[in-house]
Structure 1
Amino acid sequence: MQKLYFITSTLPLVHGGRTKSLLKRAHLLNDRGIELTIISTNYNPDYSIVYQDYREEDKVTLKTQFENIYDYYRNKSTNSNHINLWKKELEKIVGDFSDYVEVTRSKKGGRFYYYRGGIPKFMIKNSDSKNQEFFATYNEWNFNPHKFYYINNDGWIHKIDTYDASNELISQEFLTQNGQCYIYKEYKKNKLVVIQLHEPNNKIVSFSSEKEFIAYFFNDVFYENDVVVNDARFLDLPLLKAKVGKRIFQIHNSHLNNPLDNQSGVKGSFSNILNSKFPKTDTIVSLTEKQKKDIISAVPSLKDNISVIPHSTTKRELKYQRQLNHFGVICRLHPQKNLVDAIKGFQLFLKEYPDYILDVYGDGESRQELEHLVNELDIRDKVLFHGNVKEIDKAYQSLNLLMITSDFEGFALNALEAISNGTPIITYEVNYGPTDIIDANSGWVTRERTPEALKEKMIEAIMQPKNVKDVQKRSLKFSEENFVKSWLKEIGKDEK
């Protein structure tokens, strides 16, 4: 029986556009009666919590199942219901707790240190929920912990990390609830050198890289007539080594070495699929026509292997009050998004129109830098950081307009979400997405990629505002009906 799989490197609880689009694709296909399994390949002991949240938030239906490479091999190696509880394991290592003096170095850290003879012997770290997160043991020759024993929500040790005297990681052991090691990883100078998979029949299979290991796993779970959709470039090579019926490679980002230069060549992470040896029976799915044309220009032999399926949306009910003096950005706070320009452009705009507010929705590694910039420009009362937001439609509808200043995108899902909520967009010329999504009735494209050009369009936006109904009308081009029809054709399923 042919099965459908989506594969990705990670499924975060709080996620960005790539995971959001994957889950929505799954949901829409589920709604048409298509069953599928989403497979992740990173290690996360709390995936059951993630899956539960996805279901409670209606991000997936019961027609979507989940699998993870580590969970798969752990379950294969679990041979009894016996659970090795962490406290018993710790007692085996250190003996009677009453022989030690407990020391709390910091109340905030949740770490409790246990000394004997003036020397630290072990440490217990509690999580915010008061459960134990891990315990660590010390060697006589080092005041840094030697081994970290990580504890899951069920109270058993799921992973052991071992460090040398220089505090460099030398090994990881992944354990079943019985305490058996099912995957072992060895490191030299913090670099992975070998992975050993301990199969239930006492067979040990060794791999020199994560990709080798993942390819082995794919051949374990996939059959020759299955259809597999890959959403992560890290998994391209492992999937190409797997025997399946059809591979579909979904592109989420720019394939260019320099996203601002169409002549800069193909990025290394795309090299496994954007080449003349790409299998003729497989497909690459781009989100925009422009990216498809650029790929064919770089690799002409791919012209019959690329489809274009944009993200989809539905026109939202307008039920929240729009604040005309509020502009916004809604995205992951990441260097790629180039939000420094958005803030600098807004600061220039404020000099002429001081009664406006910039709402920043989202979180990420750039937040501290951006907050520092806001303080430096002395506009902290005009730029509000809200963090991640759950009521996304309310956020969009509260804005007069959305700004996009990214260096590159695969599609810019936030642009599509904005117009479906009647919120027009000011955007830089970006490869790829925003300029494919908006038209003259739903947004503005700056004349150049500068804060000064942004300021000009902000002034134009308040002097010549777009009509909310016209903005929403543009979103009809990206209907869910067209999206599902295209995907059903791609996976070889008759529309139900």
Structure 2
Amino acid sequence: MSDYSFPDGHYFSVIGNIRIGAGGQTRMALLRHRLIQTHANIAIPMVTFNPVPSYEPMRENLLTEGLLLPSSQIINMHEWLRHHPYGEDLGRVPAQPEESFTVDETYDGTGSGTVWRIFVKGAHSGEDHWDYLRPDGTRYLRTPADSMLGTTLVLDEQERVVADLDGLGDLWRWWMTELLPADGPVFLISDSRFIAFELGMLNNPRVHVLHQVHNPHQGGQRRWNSPVSASYEQSMNSISDLDALSVLTERQRHDIELFYGDRNNIVVIPNPSEPIIAPTPLPQRTHGRIVMVARLESQKRIERAISAFAIVAAKNAVAHLDIYGDGPDRAELDRQILESGLTDRITLHGHTPNAADQFWTADLGWLTSAFEGYCLALLEARLRACPFVALDVPYGPSEQINSGVDGVLVPNGDVERFAEETLALLADPERLEAMREPARQGALEHGFEDHLNRWADACALAQVQKSSRTHIEFARLSDLTLRLAGTHPRLTAVITVAGTGDRSALNVRWQMWVAESPAPVDLPVEFNLEGDEIHISGLGVARDLPFAADDPHVTGRLLIEWQNSTHSIDLTRKQSPSKVKQFALKVRNRLRD
């Protein structure tokens, strides 16, 4: 019997892939799996989709590192398709052959060097593809080689077509449907935004898709109105298709709702602290030892840490920086350390099992990332009473660190200030020691109990709201009158909405902002529903706005909010300059000539 109120049903943890030495996102998904299975007594198989000849080496590695339970189940799509017995079906037809030639073969890495994948150049169809092979050489799957769309065939042991699909997304949905139990609710907790986007289109009333966002969704300056990063654009534009979107911080939810509008399917579930047992006796901390646990990749901005440590090392003779983790930037960071003359003061240890335990002997930890979701290494360090000096990046550090009490936050990008704050702490052991217990207590507030309760509530909310979900097929603006000059900006418009759901729950907002606005400004608006049409009228007061409504830099929109769905209609006008301004421009240009 569990103390957590997860709805009855079948649960799956949907992970795109798992790799040895994976970063915080995968480690967090594995931790949630262990917590749900151990403390909520719910079997939650992990589902992966990446093509590999065998997942056994991965299972063994994860078990060795304590990241997997002996009772854990990993179901990989390719393993399943390779070995699944389809049985007899006289209606199946053989896959149509085509004139083709093999360009490349992929071997499984064993001594026998068995071919498990073939890249085929499609001379007849013009479509390059991968053929995936069983151990006996028969094909079990054909997929497009370099596209999400295209001919995708699932084949049985006689290479007859089991399923003729259109691309990888269609394959993922078909396979997940094959995995579903015959009856009862199903909860798919996804950590892959690409997989979640595709599974959101399952349109099965039994299936609830909940997706966990692990990083900021914006690019650029990562303000609420910054452009959405290319890797998140598809998933953020399809929030309406999810039964729940979970983010790690209130700040990120706030930014999403400012940009996309209010929805009822966004929840906040911070990363949890995993129960740990402190060693007895506690190991002695090494004065001046700074520890980082991070993948060596662009997000973590380890080059900033090396630059900051060069300043620290010049003023503190005992400081040493130990970095645990591996990644694609390793060679470049080695070069930077060598050129800085710090090879005896900075050590790149590579991937190290149980790296978080290094914080037991550290004086303090560092975080120099360009962005975070909710830094797991920071949480693990604080559990071990190791305060952090961290750049205040979106999101997470400001919601984890009480600056000056249990760590120090430094304005984003200020490497010199970062080094100076570190030097000040190392020079004041009393102050540093006073931060240790508050850091530990702060981490304990994010215990696994709260984490599991929040996931139980999210699943229950998804189930309750399933029947009242809405869908906006399109929204078309007509009969727009928009006057922005003068003392009272005004608007009238009609929006025709095609969609499904209870229209009495629909809301409309008229909003404006400029690039530096902390949030959109709402203007008074009234609307009434007439069938598929929304008739809108708005009247604002110019002096109530922090900018001129007719300023060409103002962005305006009508925003439809409808339960889990929102839709934004741009009202921004590219205004032509007046005749006086046009004449002034001509004169100015002549003078320049």
TM-score by length of structure 2 reads: 0.66
SS of 2:84 mapped into structure 1: helix
- 1:225 deviates by 2.2
How many residues are aligned here? Answer: 424
Separation (CA, whole Å) in 2 of partners of 1:315 and 1:394: 10
Separation (CA, whole Å) in 2 of partners of 1:62 and 1:488: 24
Residue of 145, 150, 173 corresponding to 1:215: 173
8 Å contact 1:78–1:176 — kept in the other structure? no
Separation (CA, whole Å) in 1 of partners of 2:252 and 2:368: 18
Separation (CA, whole Å) in 2 of partners of 1:171 and 1:247: 30
Question: Residue 481 and residue 361 in structure 1: after superposition, are their counterparts in 2 closer, same or farther (change >3 A)?
Answer: same
Separation (CA, whole Å) in 1 of partners of 2:269 and 2:278: 25
Extract unaligned runs of 5+ from structure 2: 1-7, 88-100, 122-126, 462-593
Residue of 457, 460, 465 corresponding to 2:432: 465
- 1:261 deviates by 3.3
Counterpart in 1 of 2:258? 297
Structure whose alpha-carbon radius of gyration is higher? 2
Separation (CA, whole Å) in 2 of partners of 1:312 and 1:301: 26
8 Å contact 1:420–1:471 — kept in the other structure? yes
SS of 2:185 mapped into structure 1: coil
Give the aligned residue type for 1:176. Answer: R
Counterpart in 1 of 2:220? 258
Kindly provide the CA deviation profile for residues 363-405 of structure 1, in whole angstroms up to 9, marking residues without a partner as x.
Answer: 1111111111111111111111111111324311121111111
Separation (CA, whole Å) in 1 of partners of 2:105 and 2:135: 17
Separation (CA, whole Å) in 2 of partners of 1:448 and 1:469: 26
Range with bigger deviation, 237-246 or 173-182? 237-246
Question: Residue 152 and residue 492 in structure 1: after superposition, are their counterparts in 2 closer, same or farther (change >3 A)?
Answer: farther
- 1:47 deviates by 0.5
Separation (CA, whole Å) in 2 of partners of 1:288 and 1:485: 16
Separation (CA, whole Å) in 2 of partners of 1:443 and 1:490: 31
**Is 1:24 matched with 2:4?**
no
Kindly provide the CA deviation profile for residues 112-156 of structure 1, in whole angstroms up to 9, marking residues without a partner as x.
Answer: xxxxxxxxxxxxxxxxxxxxxxxxxxx9xxxxx954351454847
Separation (CA, whole Å) in 2 of partners of 1:425 and 1:57: 25
Counterpart in 1 of 2:295? 332
Separation (CA, whole Å) in 1 of partners of 2:218 and 2:63: 36
Give the aligned residue type for 1:450. Answer: D
Separation (CA, whole Å) in 1 of partners of 2:283 and 2:24: 23
**Is 1:456 matched with 2:420?**
yes
Counterpart in 1 of 2:14? 7
Query: After the TM superposition, which segments of 4 or more aligned residues of structure 1 sit over 6 Å from their partners?
Result: none
SS of 1:29 mapped into structure 2: helix
Give the aligned residue type for 1:172. Answer: W
Counterpart in 2 of 1:132? none
Separation (CA, whole Å) in 2 of partners of 1:490 and 1:60: 24
SS of 2:236 mapped into structure 1: coil
SS of 1:10 mapped into structure 2: coil
Give the aligned residue type for 1:379. Answer: L
Counterpart in 2 of 1:481? 449
Question: Residue 477 and residue 195 in structure 1: after superposition, are their counterparts in 2 closer, same or farther (change >3 A)?
Answer: same
Separation (CA, whole Å) in 2 of partners of 1:50 and 1:368: 25
Counterpart in 2 of 1:195? 152
- Superposed CA RMSD in Å reads 2.9
**Is 1:43 matched with 2:51?**
yes
Separation (CA, whole Å) in 2 of partners of 1:315 and 1:444: 24
Give the aligned residue type for 2:208. Answer: K
- 1:299 deviates by 1.5
- 1:489 deviates by 2.6
SS of 1:491 mapped into structure 2: helix
Extract unaligned runs of 5+ from structure 1: 80-138, 140-144
TM-score by length of structure 1 reads: 0.78
- 1:58 deviates by 3.5
SS of 1:161 mapped into structure 2: strand
Question: Residue 77 and residue 181 in structure 1: after superposition, are their counterparts in 2 closer, same or farther (change >3 A)?
Answer: farther
Question: Residue 423 and residue 54 in structure 1: after superposition, are their counterparts in 2 closer, same or farther (change >3 A)?
Answer: same
Question: Residue 16 and residue 277 in structure 1: after superposition, are their counterparts in 2 closer, same or farther (change >3 A)?
Answer: closer
- 1:184 deviates by 2.1
Question: Residue 257 and residue 222 in structure 1: after superposition, are their counterparts in 2 closer, same or farther (change >3 A)?
Answer: farther
Residue of 227, 234, 241 corresponding to 2:194: 234
Separation (CA, whole Å) in 1 of partners of 2:148 and 2:245: 32
8 Å contact 1:334–1:366 — kept in the other structure? yes
- 1:443 deviates by 0.7
- 1:287 deviates by 0.9
Determine what percentage of the aligned residue pairs are the same residue.
21
Kindly provide the CA deviation profile for residues 81-124 of structure 1, in whole angstroms up to 9, marking residues without a partner as x.
Answer: xxxxxxxxxxxxxxxxxxxxxxxxxxxxxxxxxxxxxxxxxxxx
Separation (CA, whole Å) in 2 of partners of 1:268 and 1:341: 25
